[in-house]
């Protein structure tokens, strides 16, 4: 009996030691700060098959960040603020949005289109949707960041300045930012200055101007003045995030 008791006592001590070591080594899982991105094709992830050269600027943003942060890009081609909500895409973001996270909001390219499933009016339904994104982001303890649309590459007859193609849809987000006291970056003005500085010919290297026979995804070539290529997306993403950290300085620690 004495030997058996000794073995039992030893087993209990070993078990207690293992349990104590397990408790001491346990660390609660640290929350990874997430930047959620909601918007349209100029921000969205793109398929990479057939050597596709198109990129949304949100697709490459994560390459420029380091540390305990990640990018979760929910932007989708062809979506407006209305269709993004109607299709349940905003609800999907809200399911995992947590305190300390961020939501970058950029719509306008498709809100201006006449399709009834996408169209919003700039100073009523468009602004209402932007206010909803902001309100519900804050309710989750996260920080909304509002941007207006980047430009389309459409030069005037003198080939000096770009022709505005967004009208009130770039003004309304600025108004919402002021009304809701939310961080705002004038992506339209910044991208306008960028594209105009390149000029009518060199600026093609930012957009999907693809020569025939070079890439499998576009065998006959492509001329697209709305969507960014690999180089354009990287340049625009870096430019926009540099201005985002001016209005949200705490994000600067994550910027390479």
pLDDT recorded at residue 225: 98
How much is the pTM? 0.88
Closest CA to 76 of 51, 94, 59: 59
Tens of pLDDT, residues 116-135: 999 999 999 999 999 999 99
What's the CA dihedral at 14, 16, 17, 18 to 10 degrees?
Answer: 90
The answer, yes or no, to whether residue 18 has pLDDT greater than 80, is: no
Q: What is the set of domains in the chain, with CATH numbers?
A: 29-254 (3.40.50.1110)
Tens of pLDDT, residues 64-93: 999 999 999 999 999 999 999 999 999 999
pLDDT recorded at residue 29: 61
pLDDT recorded at residue 26: 44
Residue with the two structure tokens 């540390």: 67
How far apart (Å, rounded) are the C-alpha atoms in residues 147 and 152?
15
Tens of pLDDT, residues 142-198: 999 999 999 999 999 999 999 999 999 999 999 999 999 999 999 999 999 999 999
Strands (E) across the chain are located at: 33-39, 69-73, 102-106, 143-147, 184-185, 207-210, 222-228
């Amino acid at each position: 009996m004495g030997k058996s008791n000794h073995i039992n006592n030893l087993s209990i001590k070993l078990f207690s030691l293992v349990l104590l070591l397990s408790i001491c080594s346990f660390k609660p899982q640290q929350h990874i700060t997430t930047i959620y991105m909601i918007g349209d094709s100029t921000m969205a992830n793109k398929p990479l098959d057939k050597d596709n050269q198109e990129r949304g600027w949100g697709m490459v943003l994560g390459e420029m960040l380091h540390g305990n942060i990640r990018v979760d890009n929910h932007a989708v081609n062809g979506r407006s603020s209305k269709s993004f909500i109607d299709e349940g895409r905003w609800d999907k973001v809200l399911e995992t949005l947590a305190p300390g996270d961020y939501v970058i909001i950029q719509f306008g390219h498709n809100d201006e289109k006449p399709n009834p499933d996408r169209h919003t009016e700039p100073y009523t339904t468009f602004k209402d949707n932007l206010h909803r994104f902001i309100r519900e982001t804050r309710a989750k303890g996260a920080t909304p960041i509002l941007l207006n649309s980047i430009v389309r590459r459409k030069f005037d007859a003198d080939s000096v300045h770009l022709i505005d193609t967004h009208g009130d849809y770039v003004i309304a987000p600025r108004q919402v930012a002021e009304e809701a006291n939310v961080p705002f970056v004038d992506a339209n003005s910044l991208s306008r200055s960028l594209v105009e500085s390149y000029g009518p010919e060199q600026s093609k290297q930012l957009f999907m101007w693809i020569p025939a026979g070079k890439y499998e995804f576009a065998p006959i070539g492509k001329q697209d003045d709305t969507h960014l290529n690999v180089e354009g997306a990287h340049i625009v993403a870096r430019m926009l995030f540099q201005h985002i950290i001016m209005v949200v300085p705490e994000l600067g620690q994550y910027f390479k």
